[in-house]
C-alpha cells in the first residue's frame, strides 16, 4: 500500500504535496480501486475532513487547512507575566479567575497552566474562608 | 513531640462596631496571647476596614488584621483556640508561609543568576525588575 502511494505521488507530480494530506484519512477505502482514486479524492478529502474538523483540532492535524473558527492561542497569565506568588490576600488578582457567581473559572476558559491553576484554586479557597471572596454571590 | 519552628500568617477579622481604643486592645490582646502560647510575633499589620464577601455573624464589614508569627504547630493551635474564644474576633485563618517563602527565594535566586549570565537578554525579559539587572 505504501508502494502504491509512492508511485502515485511520483506520477501526479505537482499535485502530490497538496493531495497527500487529505488522501491519508481516506486511504483504507482507496486501495481497492486505484484508478478511481483521483475522483474519490475530491469528495473524499473534505468528507473525511469534516468530522475531523472540529474534533480533530486537539489532535493537531489541521496544517494550513481552511479553518472556519480561528481561535487565539490562550496563554497562562502567570507564566507570561512571571507572577510567582499566588497569594490569598491578592484579591484583585484572584478576582480575575472567579466568575460572577463566585465560581472558579476552569482552565480551559482562562488558559492557565495546570501547576498555576492548582495554586490559584488553593488561594481562592483560602480567600473564601476569610471572606475576601464569596463562596457564592447571591442574586 | 518534636515540632519544627515554622512561620505562619494568622489573618483575623475584628468586628467593626468597636471603638478605636477597644480595637487596639483586642489586637494587643491577640498579640500577647500569641506570645503566651509560645510564638514570636514578627509583624502585625492592620489592613483596615473591608467589606466582607458574605455576612459573618450578621456583620457586613470587618477590620482585617494580619499577624505573622514564628513557632511550633502546637502553639499555633493554642493561638487559634484563643481566637475562637475571643468574642470580638469574628473570623480567622492560619496559613503556613515558610515553604512558600522558600520556594519564592529559590525562584528569585535562579532568575538573578540568569540575569548575571546574560545581562542584555535578561534586561529585555525582566523589564519590571530593574534591581537585579543593576546588581
Picking from B58, B71, B53, B47, the residue whose alpha carbon sits closest to that of residue A126 is B53
The Cα–Cα gap between B135 and B126 comes to 13
Q: Which of A39-48, A114-123, B126-135 reaches the highest mean pLDDT?
A: A114-123
The yes/no answer to whether this complex scores an ipTM above 0.85 is: no
Specify the pLDDT at position B118: 65
The yes-or-no verdict on residue B61 having pLDDT over 50 is yes
Best interface-test mutation with A: which of B9, B53, B90 has the largest number of A CBs within 10 A?
B53
What average pLDDT score do residues B12-25 get? 90
Helices assigned H by DSSP within B1-135: 20-36, 73-85, 98-117, 119-125, 130-134
* Boundaries of every domain in chain B: 6-96, 101-134
Residue B51: helix, strand or coil by DSSP? strand
Helix or strand or coil: residue B49?
Answer: strand
Angle (CA) B61 B22 B32, round 5°: 105
Tell me the C-alpha distance between A60 and A67, whole Å: 12
Give the pLDDT confidence score for residue A104 in this predicted structure.
Answer: 92
Query: pLDDT class for A139, splitting at 50, 70, 90?
Result: low
Residue A38 pLDDT greater than 90, yes or no: no
Tell me: pLDDT of A28 over 50.
no
Question: Any CB–CB contact under 8 A between A131 and chain B?
Answer: yes
Report pLDDT digits (tens) over A42-53.
Answer: 343 333 344 433
DSSP state letter for B127: T
pLDDT of residue A81: 86
Residue predicted with more confidence, B124 or B13: B13
Task: For residue B55, give the C-alpha cell.
Answer: 455576612
pLDDT-above-90 percentage for chain A: 24
User: The pTM is what?
Assistant: 0.63
Using one digit for the tens of pLDDT, what is the confidence trace for A48-105?
344 433 433 444 444 555 666 777 777 888 888 888 888 899 889 999 999 989 999 9
Chain B nearest C-alpha distance from A79 (Å): 12
Between A126 and A83, the more confident residue is A126
Q: At A66, list the grid cell.
A: 481552511
pLDDT single digits (tens) B19-49: 889 999 999 999 998 898 888 999 899 888 9
Q: How far is A40 from chain B (nearest CA, A)?
A: 52
| CB contact (8 A) between residue A126 and residue B93 | yes
- Is the Cβ pair A130, B92 closer than 8 Å? yes
* Coil vs helix vs strand at B71: strand
Say how many CB pairs under 8 Å bridge A and B.
35
- Contact assignment for B53 to A89 by CB distance below 8 Å: no
Please check the confidence at residue B134 and state whether its pLDDT lies above 50. no
Which of A84, A88, A132 lies nearest to residue B104, judging by beta carbons? A84
pLDDT digits (tens, 9 = 90+) for B80-122: 999 999 889 999 999 999 888 899 999 889 988 887 776 655 4
Q: Mind spelling out the 3-state secondary structure of chain A?
A: CHHHHHHHHHHHHHHHHHHHHHHHHHHHHHHHCCCCHHHHHHHHHHHHHHHHHHHHCCCCCCCCCCCCCCCCCCCCHHHHCCCCCCCCCCHHHHHCCECCCCCECCHHHHCCCHHHHHHHHHHHHHHHHCCCCCCCCCC
Please give the pLDDT value at position B70: 92
For the domain bounded by B6-96, which CATH number is listed?
3.30.70.60
Percent of chain A at pLDDT exceeding 70: 50
Q: Which residues of B touch A89 (CB under 8 A)?
A: 11, 66
- The x, y and z cell numbers of residue A55, run together, are 474534533
CA distances from B96 to A119, B20, B40, B80, B82 (A): 14, 30, 15, 13, 18
φ, ψ at B65 (rounded to 5°):
-130, 135
Amino acid at each position: 500500500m505504501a508502494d502504491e502511494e509512492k508511485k502515485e505521488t511520483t506520477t501526479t507530480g505537482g499535485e502530490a504535496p497538496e493531495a497527500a494530506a487529505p488522501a491519508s484519512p481516506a486511504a483504507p477505502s482507496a486501495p481497492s480501486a486505484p484508478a478511481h482514486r483521483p475522483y474519490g479524492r475530491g469528495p473524499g478529502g473534505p468528507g473525511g475532513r469534516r468530522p475531523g474538523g472540529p474534533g480533530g483540532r486537539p489532535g493537531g492535524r489541521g496544517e494550513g487547512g481552511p479553518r472556519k473558527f480561528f481561535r487565539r492561542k490562550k496563554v497562562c497569565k502567570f507564566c507570561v507575566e512571571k507572577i510567582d506568588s499566588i497569594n490569598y490576600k491578592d484579591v484583585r488578582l484572584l478576582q480575575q479567575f472567579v466568575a460572577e457567581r463566585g465560581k472558579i473559572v476552569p482552565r480551559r476558559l482562562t488558559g492557565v497552566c495546570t501547576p498555576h491553576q492548582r495554586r490559584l484554586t488553593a488561594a481562592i479557597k483560602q480567600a473564601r474562608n476569610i471572606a475576601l471572596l464569596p463562596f457564592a454571590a447571591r442574586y | 513531640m518534636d515540632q519544627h519552628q515554622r512561620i505562619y500568617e494568622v489573618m483575623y477579622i475584628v468586628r467593626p462596631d468597636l471603638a478605636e481604643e477597644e480595637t487596639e486592645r483586642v489586637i494587643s490582646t491577640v498579640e500577647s496571647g500569641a506570645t503566651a502560647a509560645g510564638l514570636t510575633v514578627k509583624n502585625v499589620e492592620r489592613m483596615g476596614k473591608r467589606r466582607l464577601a458574605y455576612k459573618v455573624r450578621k456583620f457586613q464589614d470587618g477590620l482585617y488584621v494580619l499577624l505573622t508569627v514564628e513557632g511550633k504547630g502546637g502553639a499555633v493551635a493554642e493561638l487559634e483556640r484563643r481566637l475562637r474564644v475571643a468574642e470580638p474576633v469574628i473570623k480567622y485563618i492560619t496559613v503556613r508561609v515558610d515553604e512558600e517563602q522558600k520556594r519564592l527565594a529559590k525562584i528569585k535566586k535562579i532568575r538573578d543568576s540568569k540575569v548575571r549570565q546574560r545581562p542584555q537578554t535578561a534586561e529585555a525579559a525582566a523589564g519590571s525588575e530593574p534591581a537585579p539587572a543593576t546588581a
